[in-house]
Chain A
Amino acid sequence: MAVAGRGFGFTAGLAVAVVAIQIAASASHKVFYLTQLTMSAYAILVVLGLALLMGYAGQASMGQAGFFAIGGYVAAFLTTFNLAPRRDLLFVAFLERAHLLMTRPDGSGGSVTHVHPWAAALFALGFAAAVAWIVAGPVFRLRGHYLAMATLGFGIIVHRLFLGSPYFGGADGISDVPELVLLPGLAITGRAAARVSNYYAAWGLVLLTLWMLSNLIESRVGRALRAIHGSENAAAAVGIPIARFKTQVFVLAAALAALAGVLLTHFNSGIGPSEASVMKSVRYVAIVAVGGMANLRGALVMGTVLTFLSLRGSFGSFDDLVFGGILLAMMLFSPEGIVGGDLWRRLRSTFSLKNRGDDGTAA
């Protein structure tokens, strides 16, 4: 109990579900579902970070896709950009001496020397966190709608930078990203043989993140973040340094988004500019809203279902419309989300002919 903390039941149930789904998928020869579930897990990392930032600390961000893309693009660039012709540069020579470079055959008979995927991944995370830290300074002078718009602007800038820059492949993005070997025998890669291990790695990471963020929310830091959300005046009165906590939680959410970007890029062996698009950011916000804002589990469940359906193509060409519609509907009918909210009561009272006004609307 002391080690497990609150919410152990949900985490244990989720772990059982993860295993059960894998067994069922393998037994029914539908292992390809696991690929989409792995990609959903990466989206959940972004969503969990955003739920902490938006739902608990009360700070909206419409730019999470930007941090996701920074993580993915930096990792992709460093693991594909050929440094062999630049060996005479001091910096490259230093990297080589530090054993941070590796050489592998490229697709066309030659070879490419690039930064080791591990070093690239760590650099990508650190870089995204640094960008978040720098951006936090000016944007957290703003609140509410203005903050949402400023982060939206950040997301647009990142999107256009990756789309416009030849180093990042323009509209094609970057492909031929190698696998990322996490442990001996466990590599982040889209190869069919590694489907099951990647599925478990991704969901293991989601469970770990859920556990850590749940702990955080119940800790001194979580209380400080919720106090900032509830009343900045009251938070300041008990000595909580508001600006510092906003910056730290923003960096944490950005780092989680960047981690997801790094992993998905290795899993897909590439990344394109659509990952940085504003609609992707809107999608993460919609998922957090439908999950109930200050509700990590709700965000996790709804995020998995919606991302999986979207990746399966269930929404056809109305993909973005579905997420935009969900966001609108959630704001209108159930700001508390579906999981754990009072959506059903509200819907009933919205569409009910009798009891108008005195049943449920007061809740």
Chain B
Amino acid sequence: MEPLLEVRDLGRRFGGLQAVAELSFAVNPGVIKAVIGPNGAGKTTLFNLVSGYALPDTGSVRFRGEEVRGLLAHELAGRGMARTFQQIQLVPGMSVLENVLTGRHRHTRTGFLAGMLRLPGSLRESRAARERCLETLAFLGLADLADAEAVSLAYGQQRLVELARALVCEPSLLLLDEPAAGLNMRETEDLAGTIGRINATGLTVLLVEHDMGLVMNISHEILVLGAGRRVAEGEPRAIQRNPDVIRIYLGDEDAESP
């Protein structure tokens, strides 16, 4: 089976810091793959390199069989990559539904003229997009909040709105940057269920996450980073027992496993 995402020898340096080095891994279609590692391990940099928010110095990124290194973020989105952000990025002054509707951008066509003149095609397209977004909001349990201002919602709900916006892009790969950050235990459990249901629809998920409970619970595969390099890669149970992983998380002294 050809991997959906294939990263080879990826490297990026910021001044004196080698944020990501000689990193290779693949994400196969249909899986939930997690990237973990201590603070500063290069997880977010890796995400930004893969999704077009930063340029790699070396290496290659293949997505759906094509080389995509050097493409801009909106071009990668156009090829079927969608992502959420560690720092929530919703538009103030727009309702939940309007925020989610921006996610339909690449599936709709209305331009300046059609929009200004309310041409029938643009109205039809807008209605269809609205229905599609309301379905997704319902799927995430946000149906009642469609008309609320997005940035006025509780933190956990805002995270779900971001998720909805990414889902209506109909991506083939969903990137989640610390989706559980700032969530309480109950919300994190719900999120685990939600990511599982999303994956069950056939969507491949790559996530960066600090919450070990969540990662061990939902991931099929885990990639462990340390100082920008691959420390280990494998199934959750194997990762939990891996001595290298235990060492980078607990320090070098001969500690008991957790």
Contacts and interface: CB of A to CB of B under 8 A. Distances in A.
Given A216-B112, A221-B111, A238 B77 contact: yes
Tier of interface size on chain A: 20 to 34
Interface in A243-262: 248, 252
Nearest to B162: A234
A234 B165 CA distance: 10
Given A215-B117, A220-B125, A248 B112 contact: yes
A213 B122 CA distance: 15
Instruction: Tell me whether chain A's interface is mostly helix, strand or loop, or mixed.
Output: helix
A241 B110 CA distance: 14
B94 interface: yes
Interface string A216-256: 10011111101101110111111111100000100010000
A3 B85 contact: no
B138 interface: no
B206 interface: no
A233 B54 CA distance: 12
Contacts of B247: none
B166 A227 contact: no
Contacts of B74: 235-237, 239-242
- Interface size grouping (class) on chain B: 35 or more
A39 interface: no
B127 to A, nearest CB: 10
Contacts of B157: none
Contacts of A5: 118
Contact of A215 (B91, B115, B165): B115
B115 A236 contact: no
Interface stretch (B38-46, B97-105, B186-194, B197-205): B97-105
Given A234-B91, A237-B89, 13 more contacts: A215-B117, A215-B118, A219-B116, A220-B104, A220-B115, A220-B129, A223-B105, A233-B73, A236-B72, A236-B74, A237-B84, A237-B166, A239-B77
Interface of B: 51-53, 72-74, 77-78, 82-85, 89-94, 98, 101-106, 108-112, 114-118, 122-123, 125-126, 129, 165-166, 169
